[in-house]
Structure 1
Amino acid sequence: MSLLSNKAVVYSKPGEVELKDIGYPDLVLRDGPGVNPLNVGRKVNHGVILKVIATNICGSDQHMVRGRTTAPSGLVLGHEITGEVVEVGSDVEFIKKGDIVSVPFNIACGRCDNCRQQDTHICLNVNPDRPGSAYGYVDMGGWVGGQSEYVLVPYADFQLLKFPDKDQAMDKILDLTMLSDIFPTGYHGAVSAGVKMGSTVYVAGAGPVGLAAAHSTQLLGASVVIVGDLNEERLAQARSFGCETVNLREHDDLGEQIEQILGVPEVDCAIDAVGFEASGHGRDAGEAPATVLNSIMDITRAGGRLGIPGLYVTGDPGAVDTDAKEGTLKIRFGLGFAKAHHFVTGQTPVMRYNRDLMKAIFSDRAQISKVVNATVISIDDAPEGYQKFDGGAARKFVIDPHGTVRKHLKLDTADAIG
């Protein structure tokens, strides 16, 4: 097995990714770009090797590729992973070769106090720098990313979500591949915002996470879901499954636009699915990283809740000012205090939600692949996929490293990038 090649998508420099053979993985975390020195040589007998079936391009990957983080050149990308188990560590008891599984993007040991409380997004044992870890991501311990043909996954018995039927899983693979991150992340945003039957909700951002959040609010019973963005193509995608929309490039007064839809300039709940690369509203507005946080406090009713699955970082070399470079933003915290808002931040604890969302997919209750416009591409097309996604394409690009998805679903992807 060790003689097999392993093509992977690697961050090269700002604005560029490339394909490299990184070598077939084994059950040890080797040194490499971004690997914490304290993690080098870490034995992973509790892990498995996956043959990757589907791995998705995420907006969080784009932050690194744009040069907006301290990610080192050569970092293997990819934290949204679905695959088939091809090798099992000696300490793995319940996961077997041939299983098709979803990998939560949070790496979690299952043994620390936080994991025992379902806070798998802040595991204490996988990242020497701070709580929490993820595959292929800057300052997350250096666990190798999964936009590749094969990938090492630690703590397999605890972490992996096994699909009960392989044929059924492959029939639903474009939905199930969203379980590793964006569907639970969007759902976490909706749950954190307190969405319930009859809620009126504003979702900031019509990228894949924002669309997943909007769909999640519908699953939870929201009466009206309003999605705001600067990109009309992405807003059209939001309207395709029943959302109201606001084009914030054309209209800079969000409260006024909400009032035209609801009759009042406020909503019960709001979700920030944008994060630290936020733009101001209006035609000539530039980057203004606190815009979304301030606007959702402004338009959420007193006593309302704010879900914040959008990514914020402590290191942004491309930020607009010195404060923002270290994650210090000019937030109207006094407004939030005056309105007694509750808000939840941080990575999503995927394992808290993924099994229930899997059931919703298998029962056809959730239609997440249609919501995010899942588009299958080959691993060779990944660099172009990154460019198109960065340009605002209203698609969720699903990398199919071995052609498994295209073969099973009988897809023609000759013009998928176009």
Structure 2
Amino acid sequence: MSSNRVVVYKSPGEVAVESVDYPSLEVPQEVADHFGITKKAPHAAILKIVTTNICGSDQHMVRGRTTAPQGQTLGHEITGEVVEAGEDVLFVNEGDICSVPFNIACGRCRMCDEGKTGICLNVNPARAGAAYGYVDMGGWIGGQAEYVMIPYADFNLLKFPDRDQALEKILDLTMLSDIFPTGYHGAYTAGVTTGSTVYVAGAGPVGLAAAHAAQLLGAAVVMVGDMVPGRLTQAESFGCVGIDLSTEGELTDKIAEVVGEPEVDAAVDAVGFEARGHGSGAGEAPATVLNDCMTVARAGAGIGIPGLYVTGDPGAVDDAAKEGTLGVRLGLGWAKSHSFMTGQCPVKQYNRKLMNLILHDRAQIAKAVNATAIGLDDAPRGYQEFDDGAARKFVIDPHGMVAA
């Protein structure tokens, strides 16, 4: 039996790589018990991890800003090679390299039938929707590992058409598991189209992915707001306009300097619940970005919200925020007839088409997010540097399959 190692959350600010059991073709016991299904999963496959990425959502757990328990396995951005397939898996085979949507979906329920795979009804006893290696998301083992089990493999896996081409472009293709579709979803649901002016809040990896997606959708100008100089420089490296939120001045004025008016056609919140106020040394103010987006979005505009918001935040600034109740100016959004899109991105709605953009050299997502490969044992360092504001997307390469 092969061994397996996985990144686990130990305590706020601390992760470690630990040995766990090699995956089996079984669903978590709590999933089987809750839904009255067999634990045995002939519909599943086991993947040897080719690449697995550190996500800002993981970082929320590692900062102690969720209810994740000690020992929570981590990692939901997974690309891997099939090394074992259950007897009911018909259309993926050993040796196939596949992207894994971070949403775990059964492919059988009403939500999956409607394409809403982020809120599948049959994979999580706690709520609709599940993910690998995440608190309250069904008990599925994380993918920042050497091997991982993928349920409902025929439905969930996106097979790359050519193995050699996939490995050549792996730093781009690894982004299909989450941040590229998530960023695209944020821009698309905000209504970005040909000639749009766009404001993206946050120059972390999801914000950069949303900015690149807005360019692909035809935006005339994409402005990206952040307070970390390196991240603003990264946004500017592929043609965005950096908006420095650490300096004095109103956001509307800074936008007007770029587009000639204090509003935009579409806004994207790629920050989420750990948002901070503007200005040097500003404290945490979790509704800041949502209110900014409503302020700068023109009447009738859309606001995409791929940034994460939670119902349990033990480190929140006040009791209301601890349960996800924020001081959002909903009246402003109502008065301006804004539309809002929240929740997990339904990755399967986008990943195949975004794969085609990558394979045909139309999308340069690895360059946009500054993809940087590290080894599995380097994961703790990657988490620390990411938390310190590194303008990089860390890609874990457990088996040395990423070309130098």
Residue aligned with 1:170, SS: helix
Which residue of the partner structure matches residue 288 of structure 1?
A: 285
For residues 224 and 33 of structure 2, the distance between their equivalents in structure 1, rounded to whole angstroms, comes to: 43
Paired residue secondary structure (1:54):
strand
State the match for 1:22 in structure 2: 20
| Percentage of pairs with the same residue | 67
Counterpart of 2:138 in 1: which secondary structure? Answer: coil
Deviation at 1:45, TM superposition (A): 1.3
For 2:235, the equivalent position in structure 1 comes to: 238
Q: Hey, what does 1:180 align to over in structure 2? A: 177
Letter in 1 for 2:194: M
- TM-superposed deviation, 1:252: 4.4
Find the aligned partners of 2:2 and 2:162 in 1 and give their Cα distance.
28
CA distance in 2: counterparts of 1:29 and 1:172, whole angstroms = 31
**Which amino acid is the alignment partner of residue 9 of structure 2?**
Y
Q: 1:339 aligns with which of 300, 325, 336?
A: 336
Structure 1 position 284, deviation (Å)? 2.8
CA-to-aligned-CA distance 1:323-366 (integer Å, 9 cap, x gap): 00000000000000000001100000000000000000001000
Say whether residues 1:128 and 2:120 are aligned partners: no
Q: Please report the RMSD computed on the Cα atoms of aligned residues, expressed in angstroms.
A: 1.3
Give the match for residue 150 of structure 1: 147
Deviations 1:361-408 (A, max 9, x none): 001000000000000000010000000000000000000001111xxx
Q: 1:25-44 counterparts in 2 under 5 A?
A: 25-30=23-28, 38=34, 42-44=39-41
| Equivalent position SS for 1:292 | helix
1:270-304, Cα deviation, whole Å (9 max, x unpaired) = 00000000000011310000000001100100010
Q: SS at 2:91's partner residue?
A: coil
Q: Deviations over 1:81-137 (max 9, x none)?
A: 000000001111111000000000000000101101100000000011111000000
SS of 2:70's partner is: coil
Is the counterpart of residue 95 in structure 1 residue 92 in structure 2? yes
CA distance in 2, matches of 1:44, 1:71: 26
Q: Which residue of 1 aligns with 2:9?
A: 11
Where do residues 369-384 of structure 1 align in structure 2 (5 Å cutoff)? 369-384=366-381
Matched residue SS, 2:291? helix
Q: Tell me the CA shift for residue 200 of structure 1.
A: 0.1
Unaligned 5+ segments in structure 1 are 412-418
Matches within 5 A, 1:228-377: 228-377=225-374
Q: Give the structure 1 partner of residue 218 of structure 2.
A: 221
In structure 1, the residue matched to 2:106 is 109
Q: Secondary structure at the match of 1:84?
A: strand
Secondary structure at the counterpart of residue 404 of structure 1: coil
CA deviations 1:33-92 (Å, max 9, x no partner) are: x98974797222100000000000000000000000000111110000000000001111
Shift of 1:30: 4.7
How many Å separate the matches in 1 of 2:327 and 2:237?
Answer: 35
TM-score (norm 1): 0.95
Q: Secondary structure at the match of 1:25?
A: coil
Q: How far apart, CA to CA, are the structure 2 residues paired with 1:26 and 1:234?
A: 40
Shift of 1:4: 1.2
Deviation string for 1:157-192 (max 9, x for gaps)?
A: 011000000001000000000000000000000111
Rounded Cα–Cα distance in structure 1 between residues aligned with 2:243 and 2:28:
47
8 Å CA contact 2:31, 2:124 repeated in 1: no
Tell me, in whole angstroms, the C-alpha distance in 1 between the residues paired with 2:248 and 2:116.
Answer: 39
Q: Residue 80 of structure 1 contacts residue 146 of structure 1 at CA under 8 Å; is this kept in 2?
A: yes
Whole-angstrom distance in 1 between the partners of 2:272 and 2:300? 23
Distance 1:100 1:355, change over 3 A: same
Cα distance in 2, alignment partners of residues 140 and 247 from structure 1 = 35
For 1:288 and 1:132, locate their aligned partners in 2 and report how far apart those are by CA, in whole Å: 27
**Contact preservation (8 Å) 2:27, 2:151:** no
**TM-score, length of structure 2 as denominator length:** 0.98
